[in-house]
Amino acid sequence: MAEPESATVDLEIIVQGAQEGKKLELRLWLRMLSTTKLISQEIRRRLRNEFGATLPQFDLMAQLYREREGLRLGELSKRTMVTNGNVTGLVERLESDGLVLRVTPDGDRRVTVAKLTAKGETLFSAMAAAHEGWLRDMMADVDPAIVSELWRDIGAVKSSVSNHLSGADFD
């Protein structure tokens, strides 16, 4: 089914109203997904090359950096949107690298609290600065006004999605 060189591309797509009508949401989703993948891959590559860290580790440390007292694993799971079982292994690896510490509080022995070590804080703050710069660079060609608008409108999407989940809660 090789396509002949004739202009089979529909001209009417150019017209606003003739957007093929349906599937607007589907198209938005596909574009969001591919864009997010693209950015993730770039950040992953740089985190690896420049800091020897992975993206999920970075995400987890970001949460701990905001809460210097540490967080329970369940809290970490919610905030990073990573499953419980996954957090266990993630924290294990970070602990063996000396970046995170695990403590069981006196009051409740069911609980494990994870907390950044000094080494972890130092490393994270370097990574965070670089990370922010990478994003600014990658989005350099986008008008700041558009960036703001996107931030707002994607918020609307997130909120709509949250209200139509089959069985969970939200932000």
Partner DNA sequence: CGCAAACCTTTGACATTTCAAATGTCGCTC
Partner DNA sequence: GAGCGACATTTGAAATGTCAAAGGTTTGCG
Residue 88 contact, options a second copy, DNA, none, Cβ 5-8 Å cut-off depending on partner type:
DNA
Instruction: Name the residue among 37, 39, 34 with its Cα closest to residue 134.
Output: 39
The Cα 33–Cα 27 span in angstroms is 10
Radius of gyration of the chain (CA): 21
* 11 contacts a second copy (rule: CB under 8 A): no
Helix (H) / strand (E) containing 25: helix 24-51
* 18 contacts a second copy (rule: CB under 8 A): no
- Provide the 3-class DSSP secondary structure of residue 104: coil
Stretch that binds a second copy, among 3-11, 23-31, 96-104, 117-125 (CB under 8 A): 23-31
Residue 66 contact, options a second copy, DNA, none, Cβ 5-8 Å cut-off depending on partner type:
none
Find the binding residues for a second copy in span 57-116 (CB under 8 A): 67-69, 81
CB 89 within 8 A of CB 126: no
Instruction: Collect all residues with Cβ–Cβ distance below 8 Å to 117 and sequence separation of at least 6.
Output: 98, 99, 100, 101
Stretch that binds a second copy, among 87-95, 102-110, 113-121, 150-158 (CB under 8 A): 150-158
| Site track for DNA across 99-118, x = CB under 7 A | ---x----xxxxxxx-----
Residues that bind a second copy (CB under 8 A): 1, 16, 19, 22-29, 31-42, 45-46, 67-69, 81, 131-132, 135-142, 144, 146-151, 153-168, 170-171
